[in-house]
A and B are shown apart, each in its own frame.
Chain A
Amino acid sequence: MSSFPQVAQTDLNFNVKETISHNRLKGLLRLLKGYRLQYAGAMVALAVMALLNTASLLLLRYLVDDVLVARPDNFTQALLFTAVAFVLLSAGRGIFAFFSGVLKASASEGIALRIKDYMFDHLQHLPFRYHDQQQTGELIQRATSDIDAIRRFYADQAIGIGRILLLFFVNFFALLALHWQLTLVSVIVVPVVLVMSLYFFRKVSAAYEERQKQDAIVSNVLQENLTGVRVVKAFARQPFEIDRFEEENTQLFKLGIRFMYMHATYWPVVDLLTGFQMIFAFFLGATLVISGDMTVGTYVSFTAMIGWIINPMRNLGRLIVQMSTGMVSYDRIAEVVAEDWEKLGIKDKSPKEDIEGHIIFKDVNFAYEHDMPVLHDINFEVQPGQTIALLGSTGSGKTSLMALLPRFYGYEGSITLDGIELTEYPRHFLRANIGIVEQEPFLFSRSIYENITYGVPGEVSKDDVIAAAKAAAVHDVIMTFPDAYETLVGERGVTLSGGQKQRIALARTLLKNPRILILDDATSSVDTQTESEIREALSRMMKQRTSFIIAHRIQSVMDADLILVLDKGRIVQHGTHEELMQVPGTYRQTYDMQARIEDELQEELQRAGA
Chain B
Amino acid sequence: MPEHNQFEEEEFVTEMNRDTVFRIFGLLKSHKWQVFAFMAAVASVAGIEAFMTFVMKLIIDEGVMVQDSARLNELIGVYTVAMVALALGVFTFIFFTASLGQHVTYDLRKKLFEHLQTLSLSYYSATPVGWIMSRVTSDSERIAELVSWGILDITWAIANIFMAFTFMMTINWQLTVMILPLVPILLYVAIWFRKRILIHYRDSRKFNSKITGQYNEMITGVRVIKALNREATSLQEFGDVSRDMYKSSYRAAWYSALFLPAVQILSAIVVGIIIYVGGVQLGDPVAGMTIGGITAFVNYITFIMWPIQDMARVYASMQHAVASAERSFSLLDTKADLVDKPNATDPGTIRGDIVFEDVTFYYDEKNPVLSDFSLSLKAGETVALVGHTGSGKSTLVNLICRFYEPVKGRILINGMDYTDMTIEAIQSRIGMVLQTPHLFSGTVLENIQYGRLDATREEVIEAAKMAGAHEFIENLEDGYDEAVGEGGSLLSVGQKQLISIARAILSKPEIFIMDEATSSVDTLTEALIQQGMDLLMQGRTSFIIAHRLSTIKSADRIVVLENGRIIEMGTHSELLRQHGHYYNLYTKQFRSQRSADYETEGSAPDVVQPA
Chain B residue nearest in CB terms to A270: B87
Bound Cα distance from A249 to B268, whole angstroms: 49
Determine whether the beta carbon of A260 is less than 8 Å from that of B106.
no
Residues of B within 8 A of A71 (CB): 283
Known: A69-B291, A128-B226, A267-B90. A286 touches B486 (CB 8 A): no
Known: A219-B137, A589-B603. A583 touches B65 (CB 8 A): no
Q: Could you say which of B215, B268, B486 contacts A140, with CB atoms under 8 Å apart? A: B215
Determine whether the beta carbon of B587 is less than 8 Å from that of A144.
no
Determine whether the beta carbon of A296 is less than 8 Å from that of B265.
no
Contact with A along B131-155 (1 / 0, CB 8 A): 0110011000000000000000000
| Interchain nearest-CB distance for A252 vs B (Å) | 7
Query: Is B294 an interface position by the 8 A CB rule?
Result: yes
Determine whether the beta carbon of B221 is less than 8 Å from that of A275.
no
| Interchain nearest-CB distance for B281 vs A (Å) | 10
Stretch at the interface among B24-32, B243-251, B314-322: B243-251
Contact with B along A199-242 (1 / 0, CB 8 A): 00000000000000001001110111111111111111110111
Size class of A's contact patch? 35 or more
Query: Is A585 an interface position by the 8 A CB rule?
Result: yes
Determine whether the beta carbon of A230 is less than 8 Å from that of B438.
yes
Determine whether the beta carbon of A574 is less than 8 Å from that of B611.
yes
Determine whether the beta carbon of B94 is less than 8 Å from that of A299.
no
Query: Is A533 an interface position by the 8 A CB rule?
Result: no
Residues of B within 8 A of A267 (CB): 90-91, 94
Query: Is B538 an interface position by the 8 A CB rule?
Result: no
Contact with B along A304-344 (1 / 0, CB 8 A): 00000000000000000000000000000000000000101
Query: Is A190 an interface position by the 8 A CB rule?
Result: no
Residues of B within 8 A of A575 (CB): 611
Query: Is A168 an interface position by the 8 A CB rule?
Result: no
Chain B residue nearest in CB terms to A571: B610
Residues of B within 8 A of A264 (CB): 91, 94-95, 98
Chain B residue nearest in CB terms to A252: B106
Stretch at the interface among A95-103, A356-364, A477-485: A95-103
Residues in B560-611 with C-beta less than 8 Å from chain A:
572-573, 576-577, 579, 583, 587-588, 590-591, 594-595, 598-599, 602-604, 606-611
| Interchain nearest-CB distance for B569 vs A (Å) | 16
Determine whether the beta carbon of B211 is less than 8 Å from that of A116.
yes
Residues of A within 8 A of B542 (CB): none
Residues of A within 8 A of B59 (CB): 282, 286
Known: A215-B137, A252-B106, A590-B603. A68 touches B291 (CB 8 A): yes
| Interchain nearest-CB distance for B145 vs A (Å) | 12
Query: Is A419 an interface position by the 8 A CB rule?
Result: no
Bound Cα distance from A69 to B60, whole angstroms: 12
Known: A230-B121, A300-B60, A589-B603. A120 touches B221 (CB 8 A): no
Determine whether the beta carbon of B103 is less than 8 Å from that of A253.
yes
Query: Is A467 an interface position by the 8 A CB rule?
Result: no
Residues in A412-468 with C-beta less than 8 Å from chain B:
428, 431-432, 434, 436, 441-442, 444-445, 454-455, 457
Determine whether the beta carbon of A79 is less than 8 Å from that of B133.
no
Bound Cα distance from A428 to B577, whole angstroms: 58
Residues of B within 8 A of A609 (CB): 573, 576-577
Residues of B within 8 A of A585 (CB): 608, 611
Most buried by B among A232, A249, A286, A428: A286
Bound Cα distance from A125 to B238, whole angstroms: 14
Bound Cα distance from A528 to B585, whole angstroms: 12
| Interchain nearest-CB distance for B36 vs A (Å) | 18
Determine whether the beta carbon of B219 is less than 8 Å from that of A82.
no
Determine whether the beta carbon of A117 is less than 8 Å from that of B434.
no
Bound Cα distance from A324 to B69, whole angstroms: 49
Residues of A within 8 A of B208 (CB): 144
Determine whether the beta carbon of A552 is less than 8 Å from that of B117.
no
Residues in B209-239 with C-beta less than 8 Å from chain A:
211-212, 214-236, 238-239
Bound Cα distance from A241 to B438, whole angstroms: 14
Known: A102-B254, A260-B101. A245 touches B113 (CB 8 A): yes
Q: Could you say which of A76, A86, A261, A299 contacts B268, with CB atoms under 8 Å apart? A: A86
Query: Is B557 an interface position by the 8 A CB rule?
Result: no
Most buried by B among A116, A267, A457: A116
Residues of A within 8 A of B451 (CB): 235
Q: Could you say which of B80, B103, B272, B576 contacts A83, with CB atoms under 8 Å apart? A: B272
Q: Could you say which of B116, B121, B231 contacts A225, with CB atoms under 8 Å apart? A: B116
Query: Is B86 an interface position by the 8 A CB rule?
Result: yes
| Interchain nearest-CB distance for A285 vs B (Å) | 8
Bound Cα distance from A268 to B45, whole angstroms: 11
Residues of B within 8 A of A275 (CB): 83, 86-87
Stretch at the interface among A30-38, A59-67, A368-376: A59-67
Determine whether the beta carbon of A257 is less than 8 Å from that of B98.
yes
Determine whether the beta carbon of B98 is less than 8 Å from that of A249.
no
Query: Is B330 an interface position by the 8 A CB rule?
Result: no
Determine whether the beta carbon of A105 is less than 8 Å from that of B223.
no
Known: A94-B264, A299-B64. A101 touches B117 (CB 8 A): no
Query: Is B345 an interface position by the 8 A CB rule?
Result: no
Residues of B within 8 A of A303 (CB): 56
Known: A12-B239, A583-B611. A123 touches B218 (CB 8 A): yes
Determine whether the beta carbon of A290 is less than 8 Å from that of B438.
no
Determine whether the beta carbon of B507 is less than 8 Å from that of A90.
no
Stretch at the interface among A158-166, A381-389, A592-600: A592-600
Query: Is A532 an interface position by the 8 A CB rule?
Result: no
Determine whether the beta carbon of B280 is less than 8 Å from that of A79.
yes
Query: Is B470 an interface position by the 8 A CB rule?
Result: no
Determine whether the beta carbon of B226 is less than 8 Å from that of A263.
no
Determine whether the beta carbon of B116 is less than 8 Å from that of A224.
no
Bound Cα distance from A100 to B101, whole angstroms: 36
Determine whether the beta carbon of B86 is less than 8 Å from that of A271.
yes
Bound Cα distance from A101 to B259, whole angstroms: 10
Determine whether the beta carbon of B450 is less than 8 Å from that of A231.
yes
Query: Is B63 an interface position by the 8 A CB rule?
Result: yes
Stretch at the interface among B156-164, B368-376, B410-418, B423-431: B423-431
Residues of A within 8 A of B501 (CB): none
Chain B residue nearest in CB terms to A456: B228
Query: Is A84 an interface position by the 8 A CB rule?
Result: yes
Determine whether the beta carbon of A124 is less than 8 Å from that of B124.
no
Determine whether the beta carbon of A455 is less than 8 Å from that of B272.
no
Chain A residue nearest in CB terms to B102: A256
Determine whether the beta carbon of A567 is less than 8 Å from that of B604.
yes
Query: Is A246 an interface position by the 8 A CB rule?
Result: yes
Bound Cα distance from A72 to B6, whole angstroms: 71
Residues in A99-138 with C-beta less than 8 Å from chain B:
100-102, 105-106, 109-110, 112-113, 116-117, 120-121, 123-125, 128, 131, 134, 136
Determine whether the beta carbon of A230 is less than 8 Å from that of B432.
yes
Residues in A559-610 with C-beta less than 8 Å from chain B:
567, 571-575, 579-580, 583-586, 589-590, 593-594, 597-598, 600-601, 604-605, 607-610
Known: A116-B211, A136-B220, A231-B432. A236 touches B235 (CB 8 A): no
Residues of B within 8 A of A597 (CB): 590-591, 594-595, 598
Q: Could you say which of B67, B69, B261, B513 contacts A98, with CB atoms under 8 Å apart? A: B261
Residues in B52-93 with C-beta less than 8 Å from chain A:
56, 59-60, 63-65, 67-69, 72, 76, 79-80, 83-84, 86-88, 90-91
Residues of B within 8 A of A233 (CB): 121, 401, 403, 427
| Interchain nearest-CB distance for A281 vs B (Å) | 11
Q: Could you say which of A230, A257, A276, A300 contacts B434, with CB atoms under 8 Å apart? A: A230
Q: Which 10 pairs from chain A and chain B are nearest by CB?
A: A101-B257, A94-B261, A90-B268, A260-B98, A105-B253, A455-B228, A585-B608, A264-B94, A608-B573, A268-B87
Given contact pairs A12-B235, A597-B591, enumerate 8 new A-B contacts (beta carbons under 8 Å): A79-B275, A90-B264, A101-B254, A139-B215, A282-B59, A431-B226, A590-B603, A610-B579
List 14 A-B residue pairs with CB atoms under 8 Å apart, sorted by A's residue number: A63-B279, A79-B280, A86-B272, A98-B261, A101-B258, A109-B250, A123-B219, A123-B222, A144-B215, A286-B59, A290-B63, A299-B64, A579-B611, A586-B603
